[in-house]
Amino acid sequence: MADAVVADIQRASTHDGPGFRTTVFFKGCPLSCAWCHNPECISFEPQILEYPEKCIGCGKCADGCFAGAKVLCGKRMTPAEIAAEVARDKAYYGKDGGVTFSGGEPLAQRDALSECIDECKKLGIRCAVETSLIYYDEEIFKKLDLVMADLKIWDSATHKKYTGVPNERIIENFKKVNSLGVPVIARTPVIPGVEQGIPQISAFLKTLENVKCYELLPYHPLGKSKRQALNMAEDEFSVPSAEFMEELKQYAYIR
């Protein structure tokens, strides 16, 4: 049985797919998006997030911090443990809700992910992933009820500049997932100041029949405080204006 390194498990999430969802954040991601709002999920190793404003000055950091000034992020869990945690909210999932494996890049821990899906399926829980589609794993995708995948930037060179990887493989994987028949929700985080090519992305996605929905998600500054806590350089992005989002609305769709 493969353990997963998990950054956090959030219950009653309403932002990571339909219905009430439990979101399991897998730690580690091969991309390093400049605007990442879960920067604690980039490294595969456990890390300490530091919040000095909470320090009580007891001088006993080595014995463990309980004041919330140093918070360990990253814990090994077995798929059965993860499924048990997910099952706690089974009463609220209904026909739409369930678990979302997110991250980080959940497929980067494919064996653990695969077993987590099996364990949850055994309990009758619907499973989704949030993925960059940098990996294509037919066995896993076929088991899922929903794939939520990002296409962040249309131009490959720009994609590489901001995420660390080119996008040809991602675009190819979108086509492959589409052929499996699993419903896909495609998404683009809207980052003001970055030439993302949203019209082109939208046009491409429309050619894929199983992409049921294309969502535009405004950049979320949630990552800023976490970058600070991880001693990472601050990102330079800002939240898009309502007018900007309104302009782009024409490219989003549901079918």
- The residues that touch other proteins, with contacts defined as CB under 8 A, are 8, 10-14, 18-20, 56, 58, 60, 64, 66-68, 85, 88-89, 91-94, 96-97
Report whether 102 contacts 24 (CB < 8 A). Answer: yes
In the complex, least distance from residue 66 CB atom to other proteins, rounded to whole angstroms: 4
In the complex, least distance from residue 94 CB atom to other proteins, rounded to whole angstroms: 5
DSSP H stretches of helix in the chain: 79-87, 90-93, 110-122, 138-143, 156-163, 168-180, 198-206, 222-229, 242-248
CA 223, CA 57: separation in Å to the nearest integer?
Answer: 26
In the complex, least distance from residue 100 CB atom to other proteins, rounded to whole angstroms: 13
Number of Cβ atoms within 10 Å of the Cβ of 141:
22
Among candidate residues 224, 208, 106, 98, the one with its CA nearest the CA of residue 151: 208
Among candidate residues 78, 91, 75, the one with its CA nearest the CA of residue 123: 91
State which residue, 93 or 204, has the beta carbon closest to other proteins.
93
Give the SS3 label for residue 135.
coil
State which residue, 54 or 175, has the beta carbon closest to other proteins.
54
Residues 6+ apart with CB under 8 A from 155: 195, 197
In the complex, least distance from residue 89 CB atom to other proteins, rounded to whole angstroms: 4
State which residue, 61 or 203, has the beta carbon closest to other proteins.
61
State which residue, 170 or 229, has the beta carbon closest to other proteins.
229
State which residue, 88 or 176, has the beta carbon closest to other proteins.
88
Number of Cβ atoms within 10 Å of the Cβ of 215:
14
| Torsion angle in degrees (nearest 10) through CA of 52, 54, 58, 62 | -60
Q: Indicate the residue type of 215.
A: E
State which residue, 65 or 153, has the beta carbon closest to other proteins.
65
In the complex, least distance from residue 139 CB atom to other proteins, rounded to whole angstroms: 31
Torsion angles phi and psi, residue 149, rounded to 5? -130, 145
In the complex, least distance from residue 171 CB atom to other proteins, rounded to whole angstroms: 30
In the complex, least distance from residue 13 CB atom to other proteins, rounded to whole angstroms: 8
State which residue, 54 or 122, has the beta carbon closest to other proteins.
54
